[in-house]
Structure 1
Amino acid sequence: MKLFKEKLAWAAPIAVILIIALFSVNLFAQGDPQARNLPVALVVSDEGTYVDAVHAAVEQMSKGTDGAEPMLAFTEEKEENMEDAFREKKYYAALVIPEGFNESVQNALTNHTPATLQLYVNQGYNVTGANYAKTALNALVVQLSQQYSASFLAQMNGQQIHADQAAVLVNPIVAEEKVFNAVTPATANGSAPTLLAVPAWVGALIGGFLLFLSTSNISKRESLTRKQTASLMGSQILFGVIIALFSGFTVATLCVVAGINIPGYFLVGSFVSFAAFCFFLLVSAVTAWIGKPAITLFMVVMLLGMGVLMMPKEMLPDFFVTFIRPWIPIRFAADGLREIFYFGSGFYTGQSFNTILGIGIAGFVTYLLSIFKPVRATKAIAE
């Protein structure tokens, strides 16, 4: 019964509750995801009564139901801007009313040909978000088709229906899909960028913490001057380069072995190595200042991040979007790899590259500044 008097023993069940709660936080992000205000473009290249009817259906869909936020948020765009808009990840999809649509509906029974509404799908942006948007747009097209079908049947009341007209009467409007920035085969259904980004973070985390323990042991054994400490830090950064290269090209090699369709072995290996090194600098900086508790902090960041990496932000609770998603470093590596996999990017991936580089520079400067910590404070942290 002596064990029940020990405070540390009572800390065990409390720790278990906290750890399980931390793991379970992601249930709020992925338990019952609801798409809200997925950005979708509306391209109108025609005019007329039937075009106005499509406009009315879009406006109705934009209001949502029962006071809830709508699934899709439409913005009018021009056809010539769509490729750039998709590349800049402004929209998951687009509903296009092509030129001649109004006339096609008017003459559908005469020409025995259904009118066509085009659906553009920005698949590489996020497969989940793009599929939700595509499903909703298809439902809108089906709804319009059913309305026109009922109208045409009413007009033909009592008239003989020819076989050629029957198919058009059932589906007077059809959807024609065009995929942009397609998710290539053998890339884990679009999840490959995230799966490759996680090892960059884990490698940096484990490598950075082990090197911190090594340098702490050296500092305990020897009384180092600041010049010697700077030399030791330089060696740690050099080791970080080695760890990053091992991380990046091990990931690229495993992709080849596993049959993942990567855009280029050296390109993917180099980018993952770059991200891993920048993350390593961040880990080294934080551990240099606060010591062993940093590993817990970074594990929490990783666990919370896993719930938001796969999902588009429009399908996450507001809390995750505001307080968790912006602070997950792995997300920027995943975004960069997505640019490489599906948008034809090279090593420089734009905003994601700049953010990762910024993380690395901030980590490097903060790490260097740790050399000016009081010696006593350093020893206390190391112990």
Structure 2
Amino acid sequence: MRLFKEKTAWLAPLAVILIISLFSVNLFAQGDPKVRNLPVAISVNDEGAHVDAVLSAVEQMSKGTADEEPMLAFTKVKETDIDDLFHDKKYYAALVIPEGYNDALQNALANNKPAALKVYINQGFNATGANYAKTALSALITQLSNQYSANFAKQMDGQKIDADKAAVLVNPIVSKEKVFNPITASTANGNAPTLMAVPAWVGALIGGFILFLTTSNILKKELLTRKQALRLMGGQVLFGVLIALFSGFTVATLGTIAGINMPSYFLVGSFVSFAAFCFFLLVSAVTAWIGKPAITLFMVVMLLGMGVLMMPMEMLPDFFVNFIRPWVPIRFAAEGLRDIFYFGSGFYTGASFNTIAGIGIAGLVLYVLAIFKPLRVQKHPNK
């Protein structure tokens, strides 16, 4: 058949393979996630043999196995610093050995009261990571409790046990949990910041590319001076402001309709608009320099980025951590919204805000510099 002889026709299956491969690459990030070295704080406020037993169990958990790295990576901190460290997103959880723990466990049967270890959970950091850390710490406490339960049972062998003492005998160590920076209800199980950040990128991408095509058509029809071209660029930037505002407040409005529990409609809409505008400047800059291939580049960035947005860094393969995650602009918008949703931040969200602003400034500079790019002169045949 003639079609099979056309070289361009064979680009179709090759393009399908490439696109499917890009869509499927996130299977490597989320197909079989393994938790490695989740940062967890430990605070020791007591001493004694029973405290040493806890520390020994923590040390054993920190070793992992011959084939796999440990699930948790413990760091000793002061209990008074935990709130600030959680706010700075340094740890997913904390294990606290309170003052009086050693005596409480020593006299648990005599007092008919179990000893307690505290587990603090930094839920707003990342729900998945915090839940894994909580589960691991709970398992550690359960293991310790079972060991003491077996020892106490031997000591009580043959003795009459009342109901109160039996409860302590079964669970001599209990866990007292406290949630910090809680994920509020109706926020898509903590995924609302990411879900609301993605449209900022998509809006910037679509809006930026449409305006690029529009300005390209104008430049094809008219031979503009650099001053006129600069005015045209200024108009494109003003359109970018409009696109960003539409993006941000459309997202906030749809979030309200969907029942998302936002801390502030205006704050969320403004931050998404800010991120969308900075992304628009980046898109405009790259398209101004390399043209239509930029849309493919940014689509690839978005597809690769989707696999890293909702997963804790410690659950991603090294390739994604080192080569994908640092270069995904949407991540910074999601982190900024996470600060707003769960950490009580205002419009300025610190590092994430600074990074997004840096993207916007760099994009604007590169976009303006594109005016000095050599123009392609079309040669017309002599009439």
- Give the equivalent residue in structure 2 for 1:69: 69
Shift of 1:295: 0.1
Aligned mates of 1:142, 1:66 — CA distance in 2: 24
Shift of 1:238: 0.2
Q: How do residues 296-315 of structure 1 correspond to structure 2 at under 5 angstroms?
A: 296-315=296-315
SS in 1 for 2:22: helix
- Give the equivalent residue in structure 2 for 1:15: 15
- Give the equivalent residue in structure 2 for 1:89: 89
Shift of 1:49: 0.6
- Give the equivalent residue in structure 2 for 1:165: 165
SS in 1 for 2:65: coil
> With structure 2 as the length reference, what TM-score do the two structures score?
0.98
- Give the equivalent residue in structure 1 for 2:123: 123
* 1:152 lines up with 2:152 in the alignment: yes
Shift of 1:66: 3.1
- Give the equivalent residue in structure 1 for 2:135: 135
SS in 1 for 2:33: coil
Per-residue deviation, residues 281-307 of structure 1 (Å, max 9, x unmatched):
000000000000000000000000000
- Give the equivalent residue in structure 1 for 2:293: 293
* 1:257 lines up with 2:257 in the alignment: yes
- Give the equivalent residue in structure 1 for 2:342: 342
Q: How do residues 155-304 of structure 1 correspond to structure 2 at under 5 angstroms?
A: 155-304=155-304
Aligned mates of 2:269, 2:218 — CA distance in 1: 32
Shift of 1:67: 3.4
SS in 2 for 1:18: helix
- Give the equivalent residue in structure 1 for 2:54: 54
Alignment gaps of 5+ in structure 1 = none
* 1:24 lines up with 2:24 in the alignment: yes
Per-residue deviation, residues 191-232 of structure 1 (Å, max 9, x unmatched):
000000000000000000000000000000111110110000
Aligned mates of 1:164, 1:228 — CA distance in 2: 86
SS in 2 for 1:376: coil
Per-residue deviation, residues 163-192 of structure 1 (Å, max 9, x unmatched):
221111110001010000000000001000
SS in 2 for 1:39: strand
SS in 2 for 1:344: coil
Aligned mates of 2:4, 2:283 — CA distance in 1: 38
Alignment gaps of 5+ in structure 2 = none
Shift of 1:277: 0.1
Read off the aligned partner of 1:283 and give its amino acid letter: V
Shift of 1:374: 1.0
Aligned mates of 1:43, 1:144 — CA distance in 2: 17
SS in 2 for 1:95: strand
Runs of 4+ with deviation above 3 angstroms:
none
Aligned mates of 1:51, 1:158 — CA distance in 2: 29
Read off the aligned partner of 2:320 and give its amino acid letter: F
Aligned mates of 1:279, 1:100 — CA distance in 2: 54
Shift of 1:348: 0.2
Shift of 1:311: 0.1
- Give the equivalent residue in structure 2 for 1:333: 333
- Give the equivalent residue in structure 2 for 1:373: 373
Shift of 1:349: 0.1
Query: Percent sequence identity over matched residues?
Result: 77
Count of residues in correspondence between the two structures: 379
- Give the equivalent residue in structure 1 for 2:35: 35
Aligned mates of 1:145, 1:243 — CA distance in 2: 58
Read off the aligned partner of 1:12 and give its amino acid letter: A
Shift of 1:157: 1.7
